[in-house]
Amino acid sequence: MVDLDLLKIIVKKNVDEKRPVLEDIAKYLYENPELGSEEFKAFEKITKVLEEHGFDVEKGVYSMPTAFVASFKGKKDGPKVAVLAEYDALPGVGHGCGHDLIAASAVGAGIAASKAISGLEGEILVIGTPAEEGHGPSGGSKVIMANKGLFDDIEGVIMLHPSTSWGVGNQALGISKCNMVFKGQTSHAAASPHLGRNALNAATLAYMATHMLRQEARRDANLVIHGIITEGGTANNIIPDRAVLDFGVRSSDQDYLEEMVDKVARCGEGAALAMGVEVEITKGRFYSSKKLNYPMIRTLWQNYADLGAPVTDWEESVNRMPMASTDYGDVSQRTPSAGSYIGIAPPGTPGHSIQLAEASMTSEGLDAMIVGTKARGMTLVELLAKPEILKEAKEYFDSN
């Protein structure tokens, strides 16, 4: 008979004991910020600590030099559950997205959980996912990992992210791109405009057409369309023969997102036809929307609540309007997942800012990281100790 309460006490005790190690990781990353695909110092620091605590670490997975999969097995084979580490920084800002705390927490949760699973079937994974901010060849590494099948045999994944408030189960928007290159004919803009075919006019018409899509957008799908004209001519007395539009399209509904990308593309096709120019359109997915899994969310939320964290009720969190996108969405489309937010800064502190980076090194920020680490470590152990949760999560995943 498994004493889950005792196992959670072991997790909490080990997180407290390892706090100096975790704070050292966070501080080291904060003081040595590295852009995505270039996180070599962070990679060495993190993997060394995991190896010192008995994890088998596979480095450079899927040809990404700073990606890794660290594993620790219980008494015998069984379900695999994972926490994810991010450790890339932002240019000019440093760890303004709090990835220093995400990395330290993932290491701590994995190590603490490993100390409590000697009598359980299953495996704890700490997965190093570089370049979440999209920089370099490893950009959006979770998408690469998901497409390669890494998460297909992992039964549950949990995530943490610093914020200005506490919550579990928030949505995230999927994001796709739609790039349009219009090609026309140059001519003198005053002497012979009738001999030209204005690519910029076509781009402008396409830009305005996308605005008109908003009136007919589904309100429950959280549609966002944002775009810029990256090229529009070389001189104002020359009819432009080339113009380029670059759109991002976001939605919390993955199927609807793909439908809207097609509609944006049709705006470009229609504008080109109207203005008598040619257009080349390139569509592609960046990140998928987050697929919510209520059994996983409830379990993670309860562990935060049991620790006394001021987490918003999870049913409120899952219904909040999503504000951003992440490659974690692609993980959630592959396996049952739950994400959480820890409050490290006052409300109103902007994300991706120096202020948020500085907040990660305050006592409040480090205390929040420790709470999040305990909650994730407790959840990892609970998922292995109560496989019925994973079964329920898989059934929910398959039916939603």
Can you tell me whether residue 308 is helix, strand or coil? coil
What whole-number distance in Å separates Cα of residue 329 and Cα of residue 351? 19
Percent of the chain past pLDDT 70, that is, above it, reads: 100
Position 80 confidence tier, pLDDT thresholds 50, 70, 90: very high
Task: Supply the DSSP string of 49-90, one letter for each residue.
Answer: HHHHTT-EEEESGGG-TT-EEEEEE-SEEEEEEEEEE----B
What whole-number distance in Å separates Cα of residue 382 and Cα of residue 192? 75
Q: Is the pLDDT of residue 285 over 90?
A: no
Model pLDDT, residue 256: 96
Model pLDDT, residue 87: 98
Model pLDDT, residue 279: 98
Position 146 confidence tier, pLDDT thresholds 50, 70, 90: very high
Model pLDDT, residue 305: 98
Summarize pLDDT for 179-193 with one digit per residue, the tens.
999 999 999 999 999
Q: Do 340 and 300 meet the contact criterion of CB atoms below 8 Å apart?
A: yes
Summarize pLDDT for 112-124 with one digit per residue, the tens.
999 999 999 999 9
Q: Is the pLDDT of residue 150 over 80?
A: yes
Model pLDDT, residue 142: 97
Model pLDDT, residue 398: 97
Can you tell me whether residue 260 is helix, strand or coil? helix
Summarize pLDDT for 202-234 with one digit per residue, the tens.
999 999 999 999 899 999 999 999 999 999 999
- With a CB cutoff of 8 Å and minimum separation 6, the contacts of 84 are 102, 106, 127, 129, 142, 157, 158, 159, 328, 331
Summarize pLDDT for 381-398 with one digit per residue, the tens.
999 999 999 999 999 999
Mean pLDDT of 32-57: 98
Model pLDDT, residue 343: 97
Can you tell me whether residue 11 is helix, strand or coil? helix
Task: Supply the DSSP string of 149-209, one letter for each residue.
Answer: TGGGG--EEEEEEEESS-EE-----EEEEEEEEEE-B--BTTT-GGG-B-HHHHHHHHHHH
Summarize pLDDT for 292-343 with one digit per residue, the tens.
999 999 999 999 999 999 999 999 999 998 888 899 999 999 999 999 999 9
Model pLDDT, residue 134: 87
Model pLDDT, residue 324: 84
- With a CB cutoff of 8 Å and minimum separation 6, the contacts of 153 are 80
Mean pLDDT across the chain: 96
Q: Do 337 and 156 meet the contact criterion of CB atoms below 8 Å apart?
A: yes
Q: Is the pLDDT of residue 1 over 80?
A: no
Q: Is the pLDDT of residue 13 over 80?
A: yes
What whole-number distance in Å separates Cα of residue 236 and Cα of residue 338? 53
Domains annotated on the chain, with CATH: 4-172+290-399 (3.40.630.10), 174-287 (3.30.70.360)
- With a CB cutoff of 8 Å and minimum separation 6, the contacts of 369 are 22, 26, 101, 104, 105, 162, 342, 344, 360
